Amino acid sequence: MSILLLGVIYIAFIGLGIPDAVFGSVWPAIHTDFGVDVSMATAVTMTTTIGSMLMSLVSARIIKRLGTARVTAICTVLTASALYGFSVSDGIVKMMLLALPLGLGGGCIDAALNNYVAVNYRASHMSFLHCFYGVGVAASPYIMSLALGSSTDWRQGYRTVFFVQASIALVTILSLPLWRLAGGKEASEAKRSETSTSPFILLKQKRMLLCCAVFTSSCAIEMACCAYGSSFLVFARGLSEADAAMMISVCYAGLASGRLCSGFLSRRLQPDGIVLLGMSILCLGLLLLLIPCGGLLAGIAMFLIGFGNGPIFPNMVHLTPKRFEDSQAAMGVEMTAGYAGVLGSPIICGIIARFVGVENIVWYLLVLFALLVTSILLLRRDESQASQKNLKKL
C-alpha cells in the first residue's frame, strides 16, 4: 500500500508544479488581451508567492488538524479552481485575487507532502518526487503552447490545464482511504496533534536559521538564473536571444538531472554528502560562468549550475525530521524561506541590472553561493557539536 500511495504522492507533486510555470508562458497573450503593461506580471506572481509563504508558515497547525491526505485533496481542488478562474477572468485585478488561493493551496501541499515523504520514505524518493514536480512545471507551458499554436486563445489553454489539474485532484480525493491503509506517520512524533511549535520559536534556534539560509540561497540562485540568466547571456556574453533562451532550458534540464541522479546516489551516499557534492558541481558551474564564453561553454556552465543546485533542496528537506522534533512546523518554516528566495531574487537582480549592469548578476550569484556554503558548513559544525555532547552524556 505504501508504494501505491507513493505513486499518488508523485502525481500530486505533478499537480504542484503545473500552476508554477503556466502563467509566465502565456503572459504575452494575456497582457495584450487585457491592455495592461507587461510589468504587471510581477504583481500576479508576487501575489502567488506571498500566498505560498503565508500558508507555509501556518501549514503545520492545519496539517496536524486535518492530516496530510485531506490537506492534499482540498488544496489540489483549490489550485484547480483558481486555474479555472484564470480562464474566465476579464481583468488583471481578478487574476491577482485568484493568485492568492493559488499560492495558498500550493504552499500547503508543498509543506505537507515534503514532510510526509521525509518521515515515511527513503531519501531517494524525495529526489524522485522533486523530479515529478519538474514534470508538472514542463507540462503546463507545453499544453499552453499547443493551445496557442492551434489558433485557440489562452483561455482555452487555461481550461485544458484546469482539466489536467482537476483530474489530479480527483485522484487525491479517491485515494483518501489509501492513506489510512498505508499507515504512514503524519509527523516525526508518529502521532498527530492539533498543537504545533510556533514558527517564531523555531526561528530563535541557530539550526533553524542556518537551514533557512540554505533554502533561501539555493532557491534564490535558481530564480536568478530563471529570471535574468537569459539577459545575462545576451548582454554580457553576446549570445543570441534564441540561444540564451535555450540555455535556460539547459539549466532546468540540469536541475531535473541532478535530482534524478541524487535519487540513485542516495543508495550509496548520505543526504548531507550529496549536498556537499552538489555544491562542488554548482561552484564549478558558477566559475565557468565568469569566463567570457560562447554558446558551448555557457551551456555547460548553466547545466552544471542546475545539476549542482538540483539535489540540495530535496536532500535538505529529507534531513528535516532528523534535525527537528516538530518536523512539520520546521518544514513550513523552511518552505517559507525557500519562497522568500523565489520572491526576492528577481527583484534584487532587477535592481542590479538597472543600476549596476546586467553583467554583474554573476557576482550576485557568487554571493548567494558563499551564503549557501557558509550556512551548510556552520550547520554541519552545529550538528557535530550536538552529537559530541550527546555522546558525553551517555
Q: What is the pLDDT of residue 187?
A: 53
Percent of the residues in the chain that have a pLDDT greater than 90, as a whole number: 51
Q: What share of the chain is helix, strand, coil (3-state, %, to 5)?
A: 85, 0, 15
- Predicted TM-score (pTM) of the model is 0.86
Give Cβ neighbours of residue 74 (< 8 Å, ≥ 6 apart).
Answer: 66, 105
- Domains with residue ranges and CATH for the chain: 1-185 (1.20.1250.20), 199-394 (1.20.1250.20)
d(CA 114, CA 13): 10
List pLDDT tens digits, range 13-67: 999 888 877 887 788 788 888 888 877 888 888 899 999 999 998 888 899 889 9
Report CA-CA distances (Å) from 373 to 206, 208, 341: 16, 16, 16
318 band by pLDDT with thresholds 50, 70 and 90:
very high
Percent of the residues in the chain that have a pLDDT greater than 70, as a whole number: 94
99 contacts 48 by C-beta, under 8 angstroms:
yes
If you count them, how many residues does the chain have?
Answer: 394
List pLDDT tens digits, range 321-355: 999 989 999 999 999 999 999 999 988 988 898 88
Q: What is the pLDDT of residue 188?
A: 44
List pLDDT tens digits, range 371-383: 999 999 999 998 8
Residue 29 is given by DSSP the state: H
| Closest C-alpha to 351, from 336, 365, 361 | 361
Q: What is the pLDDT of residue 230?
A: 81
Distance of CA 314 to the CA centre of its chain: 9
d(CA 374, CA 363): 16
d(CA 33, CA 49): 24
Run of H or E including 44 = helix 41-66
d(CA 107, CA 54): 8
Distance of CA 311 to the CA centre of its chain: 12
Is 123 strand, coil or helix? helix
